[in-house]
Amino acid sequence: MFEAPYLLFLGDAPDGLAAKMAQGIYDWRPEAAVGQLRMDGCNADMGITDMTIQEAVDAGVKTLVVGVVNRGGIISDAWISVLVEALEAGLDVASGLHNLLRDVPALVEAAEKSGQTLHDVRIPSVQYPIASGKKRTGKRCLAVGTDCSVGKMYTTLAIDREMKKQGLKSTFRATGQCGILIEGDGVPLDAVIADFMAGAVEYLTPDNSPDHWDLIEGQGSLYHASYSGVTMALIHGGQPDALILCHEPTRERMRGLPDYTLPSLEQLRDTALPLAQWVNPECKVVGVSVNTQHMSEDEALAYLKGIEEKMGIPAIDPFRQGASRLVEALSCL
């Protein structure tokens, strides 16, 4: 979709959190992030080389990636002049912001003049097909969660990293804007037209060699009243051979839905697995990935042990422990 290596644009990020997308790219694709560009007043820092646009071009950068959330939902004039300079210098510009690059006339004009491309990764750039439901070659693993934002992307990225480390064949398949910025490719599933959701997932995870794993980033939750339809499309379009259940045990209410508590991991398993088996009878739930950031090490380990005993499958926190036990479980399929 867009080319590495990247210059990470941190703009005037007031703090590190505002540059969360740049951090994600740096954490998961450090080899692609050759430099950062920080404007006056920027309080975020990836700890990589500060570069001007020209230095980035000289270093072989292909794409400036907007790695910062804009304040007030506006792409400020201060940003625009930097982005125009990047386009004029021969860089593409990629962004996952709600406010689209293509809606800023100065950027459209600069891109046209320079022949460079604006990549708004929140918006589909492809006419996806209707899903066919046909069996594809290769293996697929999908992360499903008890809620939104419980670590599904982190989990699939960690599995991908571990598989590559072990010399196994795998591809992280991004379905949200952060994942797409990290991978440089993917499907912004939340923004796809309803009829084409499952087809977009099929498009994202085509036939592959029999020993290759597509590691599909999940979205939403079957139990999240706002987004469950997106999750359903991932399950039927992804035709997973393996499901990983993701959970955040200290969360008391569904994200954005104060009237709802979270389902249990057992409920999630018993709901997701039959739905997945309808399109792939061989599908199995192979493991549990728990975000234990709000627990002490002891609490976390005890919690994970309890899950393993109850459910009979590996339960890990990939941030604390890495994903090797999930890779081991997947390798048995």
Only segment of 7-15, 228-236, 240-248, 296-304 that touches a copy of itself (CB under 8 A): 228-236
Beta bridge partners of 139: 213
Q: Figure out which of the listed residues 259, 296, 298, 332 binds a copy of itself, where binding follows CB under 8 A.
A: 259
Measured CA to CA, the distance from residue 190 to residue 149 in angstroms comes to 14
Tokens encoding 38: 């920080």
**Which of 182, 135, 190, 134 is CA-nearest to residue 158?**
182
> 184-216 burial string, b = 16+ CB within 10 Å, else e?
bebbbbeebeeebbbbbbbbbbeebeeebbbbb
Chain positions 168 to 207 lying near a copy of itself, rule: CB under 8 A, are 189-195, 197-199
Only segment of 137-145, 231-239, 303-311, 313-321 that touches a copy of itself (CB under 8 A): 231-239
Q: Going residue by residue from 304 to 333, which x/- string records binding to a copy of itself, judged by CB under 8 A?
A: ------------------------------
Handedness of CA 297, 299, 302, 308 (dihedral sign): negative
| Cα angle value 249/253/256 (rounded, 5°) | 125
Establish if 222 lies at the interface with a copy of itself (CB under 8 A).
yes
Looking at the Cβ atoms of 193 and 302, the one nearer to a copy of itself is 193
Looking at the Cβ atoms of 17 and 130, the one nearer to a copy of itself is 130
Query: Residue count at the site for a copy of itself (CB under 8 A)?
Result: 41
Q: Tell the smallest beta-carbon distance from residue 282 to a copy of itself (Å).
A: 15
Q: How far apart are the first and last CA of the chain?
A: 31
Q: Tell the smallest beta-carbon distance from residue 131 to a copy of itself (Å).
A: 4
Measured CA to CA, the distance from residue 192 to residue 126 in angstroms comes to 10
Measured CA to CA, the distance from residue 185 to residue 327 in angstroms comes to 23
Looking at the Cβ atoms of 202 and 317, the one nearer to a copy of itself is 202
Q: Figure out which of the listed residues 237, 240, 287, 318 binds a copy of itself, where binding follows CB under 8 A.
A: 237
Looking at the Cβ atoms of 161 and 224, the one nearer to a copy of itself is 224
> Which residue has tokens 């992030």?
33
Establish if 271 lies at the interface with a copy of itself (CB under 8 A).
yes
Looking at the Cβ atoms of 195 and 211, the one nearer to a copy of itself is 195
Measured CA to CA, the distance from residue 156 to residue 141 in angstroms comes to 8
> Which residue has tokens 């740049």?
22
Establish if 223 lies at the interface with a copy of itself (CB under 8 A).
yes
Establish if 260 lies at the interface with a copy of itself (CB under 8 A).
yes
Footprint of a copy of itself (CB under 8 A) = 130-135, 189-195, 197-199, 222-223, 225-233, 235-237, 254, 256-257, 259-260, 263, 271, 274-275, 278-279
